[in-house]
Amino acid sequence: MSTLTTTPDTSNEGTGTGPGPGGRASDPAAGRTVPRREIPWSLVAALVALAWFVVALVAPAALSPHDPLALDLGAALQPPGWLHWAGTDEAGRDLYGRIVWGTRDSLAIGAGATTVSIGIAVVLGALAALAPTPVAAAVDALLEILFAFPTLLLALLLVALLGPSAATAMIAVGVGTAPGYARMIRAQILGAKRSGYVEAAVALGHKRRRVLVRHIVPNAVRPLVAVVALSIGQSIVWASSLSFLGLGIAPPSSEWGALLDAGRTYVTQAWWLTVIPGLVIVALALTTTTLGKHLQRALERGER
């Protein structure tokens, strides 16, 4: 008598047709397992912070019922607590409410400065890369001169000439940060001009304007999407620096730099007046930087 033996069916093992180990997704066509992409915790934190800033921008009353200008001298310089989460200032105004309601002014200055900066950078960068040699050389020399000035020093010079105001802060920060972005745009345009697809378009007899509009400009401007996100946070930091020096929006504005300027007088007895607005500025800068980096990586993956 012969003994009948059975063996386990292993025909599907290693073929990638079933769920892979470690929570990996299977790829039937390639016969291999593909690791699932996990959302980085930094991106999740940045999106949560972005949601808070958006709500503070659109509907600040949903985050804070306190009037940012309401005075209560009996509650002056109270530390953070249940009634006032971020404490109060020297006039008894709720600091958290002032931060929330000041988001609109701070983001407006950051967005305006970014618009000025990117606009100047695009014009100067395009001229340096596409204009005739004498014009390009002159623009390059101008960029080198502007780039030699520290950003804050150049902004202070413009504020001294135009006078302190929100519009002046936008212009000063925009002009101060434009040279770095202009050099970046110049490099992108030159790289696109020397690429294989542009050389192929020229060899096929396409007109210069068609090559410029359809090939050079789109590929040179694409990286600016991530740059704009990075620039907003940087612009708010520079604008807050001007306000901290007393050269930005005047009191009783709730702009974050103005809050820093008002709180430095009481820094030894009311630390929250400077620390908490400073942390909010840092949080916004980290949020825009993180989102910009992830956006840049996504664009690079799309190009590949």
Assess if residue 181 is contained within a domain: yes
Q: What confidence tens digit (pLDDT) does each residue in 81-96 have?
A: 888 889 999 889 999 9
CATH number at residue 255: 1.10.3720.10
The chain-wide mean pLDDT, for the chain, equals 80
- Residue identified by tokens 């949080």 is 283
Q: What confidence tens digit (pLDDT) does each residue in 228-239 have?
A: 877 888 888 888
Q: What is the pLDDT at residue 4?
A: 46
Q: How far is CA 265 from CA 89, 136, 239, 260, in A?
A: 11, 49, 20, 9
**CB burial class (10 A; 0-12, 13-18, 19+) of residue 76?**
middle
Q: How far is CA 33 from CA 12, 28, 55, 71, 117, in A?
A: 13, 8, 41, 63, 46
Query: Does residue 220 have a pLDDT over 90?
Result: no
Assess if residue 72 is contained within a domain: yes
Assess if residue 157 is contained within a domain: yes
Assess if residue 41 is contained within a domain: no
- The confidence band for 37, taking pLDDT boundaries of 50, 70 and 90, is low
Assess if residue 227 is contained within a domain: yes
Assess if residue 1 is contained within a domain: no
What is the domain range of residue 297?
A: 55-303
260 in Cβ contact with 244 (< 8 Å): yes
pTM for the full predicted model: 0.76
Q: Considering its fold, how many domains does the chain have in total?
A: 1
Q: What is the pLDDT at residue 238?
A: 85
Residue 167's identity, in one-letter code, is: A
Q: What confidence tens digit (pLDDT) does each residue in 130-151 have?
A: 888 899 899 989 888 888 878 7
Instruction: Report d(CA 248, CA 240) in Å as an integer.
Output: 8
Q: What confidence tens digit (pLDDT) does each residue in 1-22 have?
A: 444 444 445 444 444 444 444 4
Residues 250-271 have a mean pLDDT of: 85
What percentage of the chain reaches a pLDDT higher than 70? Answer: 86
Assess if residue 13 is contained within a domain: no
Assess if residue 260 is contained within a domain: yes
